[in-house]
Amino acid sequence: MHIHCTQCQHHFCWICFDNWSTHHGTNAYRCNRYKPASEDERRRKVAKESLERYTFYFERFNSHDDAHQKAEACLKSFIETKLELLAVLQRTTIQQLTFLMVAMKQIAECRRVLKWTYAYAFYECEENTRKKAFFEYIQGDMESGLERLTHMVEEEINPFLPPPDEDEELLAQQTVSSLKGPASDAIAAVNDAAAALVEKNKREYRYPVEEQEAIEDEFKGYSIRLLDLTTVTRNFFNTLVTELERGLLGVDNMDDRMIE
């Protein structure tokens, strides 16, 4: 385990970090013997753990920040390209589909708040084990509900919509770009493209006549499940926000099993 630094010419042992000159002669090797960590070793360990902890929270903050931007873009894209078409396909009104926008807005709001909960946890929950466990419990409830709600909105709705095409994918990319800046020309172009895509789909896509009623019944079931899950997720969201505002006072009523 002899290591030689080519920059400073220092020779040392990679296992114990002692000078390599101590590894000669009888009984010189002490790498197999336990010795208490030195102050430098303890500082290195603390620094490594601190960096790993920071990286953990930073990556999750970034992940939810990206998801928040995506949720905002999905809501904008849905309203512009799918809402009117879905109303036509389901033989209903746009007002009857507001539950979809409510769900999407709830997702965006959850993502917006959730990213900051990781900043809160980084600064406020390091020392208190019970407080950290309680926070992670209610945060986990909200994340679990949020992921299920996101799946329903992004995936389970697909059977009721026309298959995506290249025009829709391009429009989605343009929508994301328009959200990142106030460029009015770009936004106007997105709106024009969205209107054209809606008209195109209204002309070219219809449910098979023999399947229309069955699809409408399935959509009613989907809407009921989505409404219920939106309510559950909102309750988790409100619990988390309320506890953060109160300084996690609910920790006093926490079951000890939550720490395990």
Report pLDDT for 259. Answer: 52
Report pLDDT for 191. Answer: 52
Report pLDDT for 35. Answer: 66
What type of residue sits at position 244? L
Residues sharing a CB contact under 8 Å with residue 191, sequence separation 6 or more, in sequence order: 80
DSSP code, position 34 = -
Phi, psi of 19 (to 5 degrees): -60, 140
| Residue owning tokens 């336990």 | 34
Report pLDDT for 26. Answer: 53
Report pLDDT for 201. Answer: 54
| Residue owning tokens 């709830």 | 106
pLDDT along the chain (260 residues), means of 10: 80 74 63 68 86 92 92 88 87 93 95 93 85 91 94 92 59 51 48 52 70 93 97 95 91 67
Report pLDDT for 141. Answer: 92
Report pLDDT for 67. Answer: 92
Report pLDDT for 24. Answer: 66
In the chain, DSSP assigns E strands to 2-4, 11-13
Q: Is 124 exposed, middle or buried (0-12, 13-18, 19+ CB in 10 A)?
A: middle
Domain ranges of the chain: 56-259
* Whether 195 contacts 167, CB under 8 Å: no
CATH code for the domain defined by 56-259: 1.20.120
